[in-house]
Amino acid sequence: MELVRATEAAAIRAVPFIGRGNKNAADKAAVDAMRKFLATVEFQGEVVIGEGEKDEAPMLFNGEIVGNGTGPLCDVAVDPIDGTSLTAAGRQNALSVIAVADRGSMYNPKDVFYMEKIVAGPAGRGVIDLSRPIGDNIRDLAKALDKDVEDMTIAVLDRPRHEQLIADIRASGAGTELLLDGDVAGGINAALQTGRLDMCVGIGGTPEGVITACAIKGLGGVMQTRLYPRNEQERQAALDAGHDLDRILTQDDLVTTDNTFFVCTGVTDGGLVKGVNRERDHITTDSVVLRARSGTFRRVTAVHRADKWLRDDE
């Protein structure tokens, strides 16, 4: 639960930049707040998925040590704002995210930045298969869910690279929900199966894939991925690093332990969590906490005194 304070802080600090068109300023504010609160958490964390190698930028960088220096050794994946462009534009589904797992258990995404993904809820176990055509996956999952294909909704990032995938989904009879950004929320919403999404597919970031895997393990869902080099240089670099580019990786390959935590707080409103809501004398945040080992899903609504945050700004 201490991790929630870090995502809450990052989300609150990003609020002044919502719709202001400056995604870097929003990201910096969130990073600074998250770093400050992570320093109070009782664990010895190493950031394995962060903002790249250390440089002059005020980022939570790969290899950075976080926590108060006591407690368990952990891998940490952070995205102070998953959806900086969404935040800058004032659009929905921006999140502040942290995932934590046992030290050495998270897949290192440094060699290939993108991967193909398919994500579904528990009904998709033993049903979906990334190596098969999307139409077959949709029809089989619809049968497992006892739904008509026409009632299925598939989340896809709205990118030119997905034009054929979107056409194939629609040709199967299913509908699409096109995501402007942030396939972490798309994957989780599909795995929850409490809303209109049934599946999330497409090519997205490898770091986001590992973060999503922590959440999927907590939800009992299924995730399959395959590394996707964008060019020959990336392909050769991946092969030189020993990666099998044909191998399908599951959530258990991306995070090899069940001792995982996933925490997110809404920056702007979305299908998973509500955004930060500020009224005259208080600020309300909406968060989700998932733990794989216990299989718990907690929704945390917190009310913060606005004057405390205002004093911190001065």
- Go through the domains of the chain in sequence order and give each one's CATH number: 3-106+259-310 (3.30.540.10), 114-254 (3.40.190.90)
Burial (CB < 10 A; 0-12, 13-18, 19+), residue 127, is middle
Residue 44 in 3-state DSSP? strand
Provide, rounded to the nearest whole percent, the portion of the chain with pLDDT above 70: 96
Q: What is the pLDDT of residue 221?
A: 95
Q: What is the pLDDT of residue 311?
A: 52
Q: What is the pLDDT of residue 105?
A: 97
Strands 44-49 and 73-82: parallel
> Does an H or E element contain 104, and which?
none
Mean pLDDT, residues 201-217 taken together: 94
Q: Which residues on neighbouring strands pair with residue 116, listed in sequence order? A: 203, 226
Q: What is the pLDDT of residue 310?
A: 60
- C-alpha distances in angstroms, 90 versus 14, 19, 175, 181? 11, 4, 25, 12
The answer to which of 73-82, 123-132, 189-198, 222-231 has the lowest mean pLDDT is: 189-198
Q: What is the pLDDT of residue 53?
A: 57
Mean pLDDT, residues 57-71 taken together: 84
Amino acid at 300: V
Annotated binding site for substrate: 82-84, 114, 159-161, 181-183, 205
Annotated binding site: 27, 51, 79, 82-84, 114, 159-161, 181-183, 205, 208
Q: What is the pLDDT of residue 176?
A: 97
Give the number of C-alpha atoms closer than 13 A to the C-alpha of residue 180, restricted to the C-beta side: 13
Annotated binding site for Mn(2+): 27, 51, 79, 82, 208
Q: What band does 313 get if pLDDT is binned at 50, 70 and 90?
A: very low
Q: What band does 314 get if pLDDT is binned at 50, 70 and 90?
A: very low
